[in-house]
C-alpha cells in the first residue's frame, strides 16, 4: 500500500550518536528504547545499537518488553515502571529485570521472585519514581543488579544536579549492587563524575542535543518526508488555511503537503516550520491542519503533485521553531509513516 509519508531513519547516525555518548561517558553505555524507540522503532533501534556494542536496554512497561520479542545475544532489558499488581504474570514469564520503585514493589518482588535479580530506582530529587534515601532499609535480601537514580535538571546548569549526585553517592556507598547508574543523555554531558558504572541515554541517541556540550557531535537520525497533494496559486489578498492566519501580500505559489498534526507535525509549526526541496527552503504558510499543511514554493517552479519534500525535522531546530521539546517531536510521530532504514 502506497503511503504519502516517509520516515527515513539513518542507522549509521544512530550508531555514531551512541558511540559518542559511550566515549564521552567513559563507562558502559545502555540505551532507553521506550516509547517504541522514541518513535523510530524499538526493535530496529535495538538491533542497530546492539551491533554498535550496546548491551543494556530499558523500556517503560511489560507490554513494551513483550513487543521486543527475543533479545539479541548478551543483551539485558530493564523495565523502568517496575512490577505492579497486574504485572506479576508478565514479569515472571520474562527475562527482563524490573526496576523496583517503591516499598510495595520491593515486597511484591521478594514474594514472587525471591533471589531473582532486579534493579532499583532511588529518588534523589525528581520526586517521580523511586525510593527515598531513608526508605532503603527494605532492600535487604534483594539481588540488585543496578541501583539507579534519575536527574531532574541535567539539561540546565542547576544546583539540583550536584545535590542529586551527592545524595546518590551516599546511598550507593551503603546499598550493595552490581552496578550504579545516574546519568541520562544530558547527565553524560555533565562530566564523568555522573557516569558511575552505567549511563542510560535516550534522546541524544536519536538525534536530540541535550546540552551545548553535545552540539556538533550528535547527528540527525529521523528524516521526515511528505508527498505533495496539490500545487496551487494563492492570489494577492487571499488567505490560506484555518483561521486565515496567512494572507498573501502578492501572488504566492504553494505546495499542499500530505502531513499534519495527526502525524505528529503539530500546530506549533504553523507559520514557523519549513520543508526543503533539495537545498531550497519552503516556509510553512498558515496553520498546520490535521492531515495537510501548505509551504511556499515560489523558488521551486518545477515542484508538482506527487513530488517529495523533506520536512525540516532537525530536532534542535524544530524545537526552536515549534516550541515543542525534542522529546515530543520524536515520540508524537504517527503511525501513517512508512519507516525506512538506510
Cite the active site residues.
34, 242
User: Can you name the residues that pair with 100 across neighbouring β-strands?
Assistant: 120
Contact 283, 238 (CB under 8 A): no
Euclidean distance between the first and final Cα of the chain, in Å? Answer: 20
Between CA 61 and CA 98 the distance in angstroms is 9
Contact 70, 96 (CB under 8 A): no
Distance of alpha carbon 39 from its chain centroid, rounded? Answer: 7
* 181 three-class SS: strand
The answer for 207, left when phi > 0, alpha when psi is -120 to 50, beta otherwise, is left
Between CA 168 and CA 124 the distance in angstroms is 6
Closest CA to 175 of 213, 219, 134, 207: 134
Sign, Cα dihedral of 29, 32, 38, 41: positive
CA atoms within 13 A on the CB side of 136: 22
C-alpha cell at 233: 496559486
Alpha helices for 159-290 (secondary structure H): 159-174, 185-189
Amino acid at each position: 500500500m502506497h503511503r504519502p509519508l516517509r520516515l527515513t531513519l539513518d542507522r549509521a547516525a544512530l550508531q555514531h550518536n551512541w558511540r559518542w555518548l559511550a566515549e564521552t561517558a567513559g563507562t558502559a553505555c545502555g540505551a532507553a528504547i521506550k516509547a517504541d524507540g522514541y518513535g523510530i522503532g524499538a526493535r530496529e533501534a535495538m538491533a542497530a545499537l546492539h551491533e554498535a556494542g550496546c548491551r543494556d536496554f530499558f523500556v517503560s512497561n511489560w507490554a513494551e518488553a513483550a513487543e521486543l520479542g527475543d533479545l539479541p545475544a548478551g543483551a539485558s532489558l530493564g523495565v523502568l515502571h517496575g512490577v505492579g499488581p497486574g504485572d506479576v504474570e508478565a514479569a515472571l514469564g520474562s527475562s527482563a529485570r524490573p526496576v523496583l520503585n517503591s516499598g510495595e514493589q520491593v515486597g511484591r518482588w521478594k514474594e514472587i521472585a525471591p533471589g531473582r535479580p532486579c534493579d532499583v530506582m532511588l529518588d534523589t530529587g525528581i520526586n517521580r519514581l523511586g525510593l527515598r534515601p531513608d526508605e532503603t532499609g527494605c532492600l535487604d535480601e534483594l539481588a540488585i543488579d543496578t541501583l539507579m537514580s534519575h536527574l531532574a535538571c541535567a539539561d540546565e546548569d542547576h544546583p539540583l544536579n550536584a545535590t542529586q549526585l551527592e545524595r546518590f553517592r551516599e546511598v550507593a556507598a551503603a546499598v550493595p549492587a552490581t552496578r550504579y547508574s545516574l546519568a541520562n543523555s544530558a547527565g553524560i554531558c555533565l562530566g564523568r563524575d555522573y557516569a558511575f558504572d552505567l549511563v542510560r541515554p535516550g534522546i541524544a541517541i536519536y538525534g536530540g542535543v541535550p546540552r551545548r556540550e553535545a552540539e556538533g557531535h550528535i547527528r540527525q537520525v529521523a528524516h521526515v518526508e511528505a508527498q505533495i497533494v496539490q500545487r496551487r496559486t494563492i492570489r494577492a489578498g487571499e488567505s490560506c488555511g484555518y483561521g486565515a492566519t496567512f494572507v498573501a501580500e502578492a501572488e504566492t505559489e504553494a505546495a499542499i503537503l500530505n502531513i499534519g498534526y495527526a502525524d505528529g507535525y503539530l500546530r506549533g509549526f504553523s507559520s514557523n516550520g519549513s520543508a526543503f526541496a533539495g537545498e531550497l527552503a519552503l516556509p510553512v504558510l498558515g496553520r498546520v491542519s490535521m492531515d495537510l499543511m501548505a509551504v511556499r514554493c515560489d523558488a521551486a517552479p518545477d515542484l508538482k503533485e506527487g513530488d517529495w519534500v523533506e520536512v525540516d525535522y532537525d530536532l534542535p531546530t524544530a524545537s526552536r521553531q515549534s516550541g515543542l521539546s525534542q522529546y515530543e517531536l520524536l515520540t508524537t510521530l504517527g503511525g501513517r509513516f512508512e519507516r525506512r532504514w538506510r
